[in-house]
């Protein structure tokens, strides 16, 4: 009887061992397949001249909106930056230029789920235009082939709030900041308010932020006949938008 029990236990142990090994093999194969799927999804290429040429301005805006949806849903594309960096050495064919505020809470590429070689980014507090910014946009569009210009303001913008609250930067020894605030002032002045005209009034502040971005678009068209003509001919689109700090969503304005 003892001998029989021993044999039975041995058989059971061997069977357990075999089934454990099989399960391990299946698990490893599953992990390898998952790893391959993840690898396949990682973007290693960058935009080419042909891809840039094939896209219309409206299609590009559609892709940027989709990218922003990915950002809002915390579902950013994985990128192999080393591979992209190496490919980018041969040139760049970005599809758009985005003018953003300098605010550290607005990570422009991430906001549109983009990476190396995808967009030009110009940044200045309050996303106003000046000769250097417009010059950079002319280069991006007329020289480098980008087809969309986005002026993107953002909620809770410190530059806009300071302008609304009449911060006297000159008195604080910051002459250049005072000049920058002066550039935002017209957007404050043209905005009507149902409540008080301070940055504590969120509705008023948000409307100024939208108007400031729209105003920058208007100014770009005025100071750059080249870009205005390209827009009239349907070669590029110049639009304004506002990034919502809380939700991550970018809302495009109708200019
Ligand atoms: Zn800002």
CA gap 76, 70 in Å, rounded: 6
Q: Which residues surround ligand 1, an ion (CB under 5 A)?
A: 101, 103, 157, 159
pLDDT band of residue 141 (cuts 50, 70, 90) is very high
pTM for the full predicted model: 0.84
Measuring CA to CA, which residue among 113, 103, 101 is closest to residue 150?
101
Ligand 1 geometric centre to CA of 169 (Å)? 16
Longest dimension (CA), the chain: 102
pLDDT digits 0-9 by tens, 42-100 = 998 888 888 888 899 999 999 999 999 999 999 999 998 888 888 887 788 899 999 99
Placement of tokens 């992990």 in the chain: 31
Ligand 1 geometric centre to CA of 158 (Å)? 5
- What pLDDT is stored for residue 157 in this prediction? 98
Ligand 1 geometric centre to CA of 160 (Å)? 7
Ligand 1 geometric centre to CA of 106 (Å)? 9
- What pLDDT is stored for residue 89 in this prediction? 79
Ligand 1 geometric centre to CA of 17 (Å)? 63
Do 221 and 237 touch, CB atoms closer than 8 A? Answer: no
Placement of tokens 């000049």 in the chain: 179
Ligand 1 geometric centre to CA of 216 (Å)? 14
Q: What strands, in cross-sheet order, belong to the sheet with 96-100?
A: 119-123, 96-100, 148-154, 237-243, 250-252
Q: Pairing relation of β-strands 119-123 and 250-252?
A: unpaired
For all residues of the chain together, what is the average pLDDT? 91
Ligand 1 geometric centre to CA of 176 (Å)? 16
Do 151 and 217 touch, CB atoms closer than 8 A? Answer: yes
Do 255 and 240 touch, CB atoms closer than 8 A? Answer: yes
Q: Which CATH architecture has domain 43-252?
A: 3-Layer(aba) Sandwich (3.40)
Ligand 1 geometric centre to CA of 165 (Å)? 14
- Does residue 190 have a pLDDT over 80? yes
CA gap 72, 111 in Å, rounded: 8
Ligand 1 geometric centre to CA of 104 (Å)? 9
- Does residue 14 have a pLDDT over 80? no
Measuring CA to CA, which residue among 51, 41, 117 is closest to residue 76?
41
Mean pLDDT of 152-171: 98
Domain ranges of the chain: 1-41, 43-252
Ligand 1 geometric centre to CA of 180 (Å)? 12
């Amino acid at each position: 009887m003892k001998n029989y029990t021993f044999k039975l236990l041995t058989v059971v142990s061997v069977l357990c061992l075999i089934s454990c090994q099989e399960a391990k093999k299946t698990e490893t194969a599953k992990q390898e397949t998952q790893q391959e799927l993840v690898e396949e999804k990682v973007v290693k290429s960058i935009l080419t001249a042909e891809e840039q040429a094939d896209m219309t301005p409206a299609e590009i805006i559609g892709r940027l909106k989709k990218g922003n949806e990915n950002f809002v849903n915390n579902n950013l594309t994985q990128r192999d930056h080393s591979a992209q960096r190496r490919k980018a050495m041969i040139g760049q064919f970005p599809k758009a230029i985005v003018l953003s505020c300098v605010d550290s809470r607005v990570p422009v590429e991430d906001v549109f789920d983009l990476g190396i070689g995808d967009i030009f980014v110009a940044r200045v507090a309050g996303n106003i235009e000046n000769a250097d910014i417009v010059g950079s946009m002319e280069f991006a569009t007329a020289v480098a082939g980008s087809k969309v210009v986005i002026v993107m303001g953002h909620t809770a913008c410190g530059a806009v709030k300071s302008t609304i609250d009449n911060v006297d930067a000159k008195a604080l020894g910051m002459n250049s900041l005072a000049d920058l605030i002066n550039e935002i002032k017209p957007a404050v002045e043209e905005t009507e308010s149902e409540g008080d005209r301070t940055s504590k009034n969120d509705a008023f502040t948000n409307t100024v932020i939208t108007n400031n971005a729209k105003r920058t678009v208007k100014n770009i068209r005025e100071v750059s006949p080249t870009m205005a003509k390209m827009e009239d001919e349907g070669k590029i689109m110049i639009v304004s938008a506002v990034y919502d700090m809380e939700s991550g969503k970018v809302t495009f304005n109708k200019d």
